Homo-oligomer: A and B are copies of this chain.
């Protein structure tokens, strides 16, 4: 019975970590501040990776969303911030053939500023790990080594999804 209580307490703790846990703004990375309020940003696209079993939403600040929805993304305008929120691909309880966003793996951001980020192809690159958003401090090269293959797309993998025009 005691074990059961502990188990229930653990499960509840797990649930509350969803609501979570960042008491102050996460630590900047290489001079890049944690983008404020990205949790309210609009969506640009969704993706699924089978090589690491993750589901992602790609969000953007107002400049990014305006560019995405109007197809003006090569290059993306200065001031763009793209955010990628990465979760473990997890079975959905009530629909056998569906998966959904489980544990938060990390958030990643690309910040376009062609004057500031001259040494990293016009973008600032940053990643914060897990629900507590610990800074990833291994340098932008970890990001750009994969993104090089899309350098002719202004270094961005994302295809903006088709959205109905807003009325």
Which A residues have a C-beta under 8 Å from some C-beta of B? 15-22, 24-26, 34, 36-37, 39-43, 45-51, 55-57, 59, 65, 69-71, 85, 87, 89, 92-95, 97-101, 103-104, 107, 128, 131-133, 149-150, 153, 157-167
Contact = CB atoms under 8 A, between A and B. Distances in A.
Contact of A100 (B46, B50, B153): B46
Given A48-B55, A150-B94, A166-B40, A69 B101 contact: no
Given A39-B42, A65-B40, A71-B15, A133 B103 contact: no
B161 A22 contact: no
B159 A19 contact: no
A92 B158 CA distance: 8
Contact of A99 (B25, B36, B47, B97): B47
